[in-house]
Amino acid sequence: MTLAFAKPADSAIPIHVVDKDGLDDALAGLTAAQQNWASAQGFSAALGQVVQLPDDQGGIAQVLVGYGTAAKRARGRFHMGAVAAKLPHGVYTIAGGLTGAALEEAALAWLLAGYSFDRYAGPAKPIAELIAPKGIDAGRIEIIATGEALTRDLINTPASDMGPDELEDAARSLAHAHGAKMHVITGDDLIPSNFPMIHAVGRASDRVPRLIDMRWGDTGPQLTLVGKGVCFDTGGLNIKPGSSMGLMKKDMGGAATVMGLAHMIMGLRLPLRLRVLIPAVENSISGNAFRPQDILTSRKGLTVEINNTDAEGRLVLADALTLSDEDDPALVISMATLTGAARVAVGPDLAPFYTDDDGHAAAIAMAAAKVADPVWRMPFHEPYEAMIEPGIADLDNAPSGGFAGSITAALFLRRFVESPYMHFDIYGWQPSARPSRPKGGVGMGARAVLEALPQLLKL
């Protein structure tokens, strides 16, 4: 879905955002009747508090929104998204109280609050509309919000309607919208094309595996995005219990996130060459499924002992990462819903990321704080390399013991990349509704990467 600001209107209702320190000044600027009304409503500028001040005809003259204290605001984000959901339908404008990055976050929060996944249940009730605030790049924010909506739509779609073929269709639509080129290698053609691990993981499904390869741009440094596209994960022969399989429609969240990020990059016409690689498979169970103790030979030539068929995402990513390296990109970024260990470490709200480059890490961290897209750096801890070396093959796809699962998965992936590399082990799911983030699929890390790209690629 497209998320956009309202067209300017003379009848737009002004919103005044008031923090605790500015409460007295804000009340002093009201008429006596309005002061009495605000007092009667108990307005104290508490975070998220909303008071509608009436006009002489019983309509809304203006809205006061509490912005609380800096300490309270730091315990959450997208606070204006909650405000958008509380107001009656109409057209509003932010008339005061926010500037700079805070105003940009508020505008984005308002647009994202308008997101709903209505493919199966019908359209949701529309929320209040916002005119783009003065002083922001409205077009940029609309592109970012629409990219996030694309990610959410893809993750939220159940596997019955989002298999490898439908994921390819979504990528083709994205490529067509931006004039990008697409090349797809499908099914048994993966074998002579030397993508053996993508084929091995996906061959048990009648929805054939594929490698999606999208290119855009003719000049500038090359950025290659690699997204895990496991459209459903049964766990394979190491079948998941039902409680763990329930959310596996989101196991293509990495692919969905890089596609949303690609929309942002192409929509903003950034001066770079973009490549998007998505190994799209369904990890199913049948007589030809790959097995525990199989040894697979990757595109890179490294052999991998399979000690758990439920650790399949790193296998398909490995072949795609090897391909990504072959045309010498300036930076490779992979995104994947890869490990439960990452969720145990940082929970559902943080996107852990790995890089060997301290400058890249600093750029991502600063960008993430600026755009309210929280991340946390994790280490490529060299002493754990021995944990992914089984002895019978070059690599082990699922080291025993259960320790450092996210780190060992990241170390596994790093073996297949020589170019500058960054990996995000994301969750891709909002477990309970928060401002501007309904329960369901959600993008993680994409806006931080977008904001950091000028530093990462010296644009």
Query: How far apart, in whole angstroms, are the C-alpha atoms of residue 272 and residue 274?
Result: 6
Q: What is the pLDDT of residue 126?
A: 86
- Each domain of the chain, given as residue ranges in start order, spans 13-128, 146-456
- pLDDT tier, 73 (very low <50, low <70, confident <90, very high otherwise): very high
Q: Residue 78 above 90 pLDDT?
A: yes
Over residues 229-258, mean pLDDT: 97
Q: How far apart are CA 432 and CA 52, in angstroms?
A: 28
Quick one: angle between helices 138-156 and 253-267, nearest 10?
160
pLDDT tens digits, one per residue of 149-162: 999 999 999 999 99
Distance CA 288, CA 30 (A): 74
303-305 vs 295-297, strand pairing mode: antiparallel
Residue 425 CA from chain centroid, whole number: 11
Phi/psi class of residue 126: alpha, beta or left (left: φ > 0; alpha: ψ in -120 to 50)?
beta
**178-224 residue pLDDT tens:** 999 999 999 999 999 999 999 999 999 999 999 999 999 999 999 99
Of the pLDDT bands very low, low, confident and very high (cuts 50, 70, 90), residue 40 is very high
Fold of 13-128: Leucine Aminopeptidase, subunit E; domain 1 (3.40.220)
Please state the pTM of the whole predicted model. 0.96
Catalytic residues: 240, 314
pLDDT number for residue 268: 98
Mean pLDDT, rounded, of the chain: 96
What is the mean predicted confidence (pLDDT) over 372-384?
97
Give the model's pLDDT for residue 170: 98
Pick the CATH number of 146-456 from 3.90.1300.10, 3.40.630.10, 3.30.2080.10, 3.40.640.10: 3.40.630.10
Residues 395-451 have pLDDT tens digits of: 999 998 889 999 999 999 999 999 999 999 999 999 999 999 999 999 999 999 999
Tens of pLDDT, residues 327-361:
999 999 999 999 999 999 999 999 999 999 999 99
Query: How confident is the model at residue 104, as a pLDDT?
Result: 96
Angle, CA of 4, 9 and 14, to the nearest 5°: 90
Which residue bears the tokens 């595996």?
Answer: 209
pLDDT-derived band at 58 (thresholds 50, 70, 90) equals: confident
Q: Structure tokens of 360? A: 């890249």
Q: What is the 8-class DSSP label of residue 98?
A: -
Beta-carbon count within 10 A of 244 CB: 13
Residue tagged 């009340």 (tokens): 27
3-state secondary structure of 76: coil
HSE, CB side, 13 Å, CA atoms: give it for residue 98: 26
